[in-house]
Structure 1
Amino acid sequence: MTTIFGPINSRRFGSSLGIDLSPALKQCNFDCLYCELAPTPTVDAQTSTVTVERIINDLKEHLSDKIDVITLTANGEPTLYPHLKELIDEIDKIKNKTETLILTNSATLVDEKVFNTLLKLDQVKLSLDAISDDVFKKIDRPHANIKVDEVVKKVQEFSKVYKGKLFMEVLFVHGLNDTKEEIAKLNEALLDIDASRVDLGTIDRPPAYPVMGISYKELHEASLMFDSSIPIHIASRVHAEPNNSLYSEEDILNTLDKRPLTQEDINLLFDEVSKERLEKLLKEQKVVKKAVGNLEFLLPDANVKRKRKK
């Protein structure tokens, strides 16, 4: 069984070549309601591991200069892999200009060894679904002794010292973490996290448990509840229904000032007349485009100038 999968053309991260650090079975310290894998008891360490040598040999067979990122993931939580530091060091020797990325649920940042190891990566994506202890336990179903307040504190600390590209992700589950109260708590926590981008998503694939996601419209409404200084991006597009509303030029500028949007967002939210008005604002340079990672956002030029002064 190979440890390599892809490459996958990721909208958020480019051409991604995946490394599965637990190819034989699911090994995770969470048993999330929304997981695409089958329900499994949580663990705090891997019992089935693959060698660094095998992973590197597999990687050499598939790596090319067309790959944007080497993505460390797993059937479960990749930071449970016991040889992670050694693996990253070996990947760095052969990756050339390709960047390294890990997708983690953030919980093991409380471990100093893991914390320091993740500092070695070019890109890190951390998940944070809830701040309230009861909501966190309902959604993420963590292993015993994982405390969400300790995790949040370490995520905030990590964001202050990490030199690479840091991305956050919040996945909404209907009726659990999509309330105004929980979003307000997430907003407060994210205000103290220095992230390049915060992705808001919902359930895109059949979940492990009988739970539901929220609609694109609800995701957009949730995005507006976050402070405008937080770089929110609506990541989920599955089952998105076009809104096609009419926006005046003032509406467009106000909307983009509150929440910069991608062209995909524009296509879902604006009607044709509004899109023409947006094109006019772009030509007049009242609206500009800004790249964040592999995504391009539209925002008012006044917004960019204001942020430069800070």
Structure 2
Amino acid sequence: MKGFNYKEIYEETGRRVLEVNVLPEKHCNFDCVFCPIGRSKEKVDTQRPFDGLEESLTELKRRIEAEKPDLVFINSMGEAFVHQGIGEIVDLIRSTGTAVRLLSNGYLLGRNDYMEIANRCDEIVGELKTISEERFQKFQRPMEDYTLSEYLRNMEAFRRQYGGKFILEVTAIKGCNDDDISVLRTKAAVRRISPDVLEVVRIEEERFQKALGVTPERLEAIERELRDAL
């Protein structure tokens, strides 16, 4: 892929959304077994440069001016914070008067340099997919020395000081976090993080559905329980 990759403009709650992937291939600090974009060739949590940033920024600005979205959603192949130009990308979007939403798995949100960039975004999406240390290591396969407790602390610390809208996306996964004890632990984590918006979803990728997909009925029950934490 040369430059950024875009989805067609779509509507979400009355807003026109332009979704952009700023990474040329997967670069992430996790290697989740259920990742829809495949394995991480190399796990990374430090920023690195990618070719063609100036041209990509020019094209992004052109698209915003031509398509006039209400929101630009940075939803990348992996962890967008590892792009060395992510601060410039956010600032360019803001300079057009357009709101910015950025998706992160959330682990890096507690680190000052990444927190500072995230604070310039109007909306941040963090993720929660496992709720025990054993399953975090087994299913999300993070970088060495990463822990679930630090993961939760990072999102909690970020949320406490963030002035924008923090969206927490919890994915219900069969055999991973859908049992009653895990749901209660997830509920406690949601209460700690205290997001502005809670989204409870299930794995939709067809290749993972049989092994990891929860039923719609179980998803609804989990969502009801978790919403009590807000």
Answer whether TM exceeds 0.5 for this pair. yes
Could you say what secondary structure the match of 2:87 adopts?
helix
Q: Tell me whether 1:148 sits opposite 2:148 in the alignment.
A: yes
Shift of 1:207: 4.9
CA contact (8 A) 2:173 2:212 kept: yes
Give the counterpart of 2:83 among 81, 84, 93: 81
Tell me the equivalent position of 1:166. Answer: 166
1:72 partnered with 2:84:
no
Structure 2: which 5+ residue stretches go unaligned?
Answer: none
Q: What is the rounded CA distance, in whole Å, between the counterparts of 2:164 and 2:71 in structure 1? A: 13
Supply the distance in 1 between the matched residues of 2:78 and 2:145 (Cα, whole angstroms): 18
The alignment partner of 1:152 has SS state of helix
Which residue does 2:35 correspond to in 1? Answer: 35
CA apart distance, 1:175: 0.8
Contact 1:26 1:75 in 2 (8 A): yes
Q: Which residue number in structure 1 is paired with residue 137 of structure 2?
A: 137
- Following TM superposition, the consecutive aligned residue runs of length 4 or more in structure 1 with deviations greater than 4 angstroms are 207-210
> Residues of 1 paired with 2:50 and 2:159: CA distance?
29
Q: Structure 1-normalised TM-score?
A: 0.67
Hey, what does 2:59 align to over in structure 1? 58
Q: Report 1:213-224 matches (<5 A).
A: 213-224=213-224
**When the two structures are superposed, what TM-score results if normalisation uses the length of structure 2?**
0.88
Q: How far apart are 1:47 and its partner, in Å?
A: 5.4
Amino acid at match of 2:69: I
CA radius of gyration, larger in: 1
Structure 1: distance between partners of 2:145 and 2:211: 25
Aligned 1:1-310 pairs, distance under 5 A: 1-9=2-10, 11=12, 14-23=15-24, 25-44=25-44, 45=46, 49-64=50-65, 66-93=68-95, 95-96=96-97, 98-207=98-207, 211-226=211-226, 228-230=228-230
Contact conserved, 1:17 with 1:69, CA < 8 A, in 2?
Answer: yes
Taking every aligned residue pair, what percent have the same amino acid on both sides? 21
> Comparing 61-70 with 101-110, which one deviates more in the overlay?
61-70
Are the aligned partners of 2:172 and 2:178 in contact in 1 as well (CA < 8 Å)?
Answer: yes
CA shift for structure 1 position 53: 1.7
Answer whether contact 2:129 2:173 (CA < 8 A) is retained. no
Query: Do the aligned partners of 1:32 and 1:139 also contact (CA within 8 Å) in 2?
Result: yes
Between the aligned partners of 2:207 and 2:169, the Cα distance in structure 1 is 17
**Whole-angstrom distance in 1 between the partners of 2:77 and 2:51:** 13
1:70 and 1:160 mapped to 2: Cα distance? 24
The AA in structure 2 aligned to 1:80 is V
| 1:236 aligned residue | none
Letter in 1 for 2:71: V
How many residues get paired?
227
CA contact (8 A) 1:21 1:49 kept: no
Is the 8 Å Cα contact of residues 152 and 189 (structure 2) preserved in structure 1? Answer: yes
> One-letter code of the match for 1:164?
G
Distance 1:189 1:135 in 2: 15
Amino acid at match of 2:93: I
User: 2:102, 2:123 within 8 Å by CA — same for their partners in 1?
Assistant: yes
CA 1:111/1:229 → structure 2, altered by over 3 Å: closer, same or farther? closer
Letter in 2 for 1:106: G
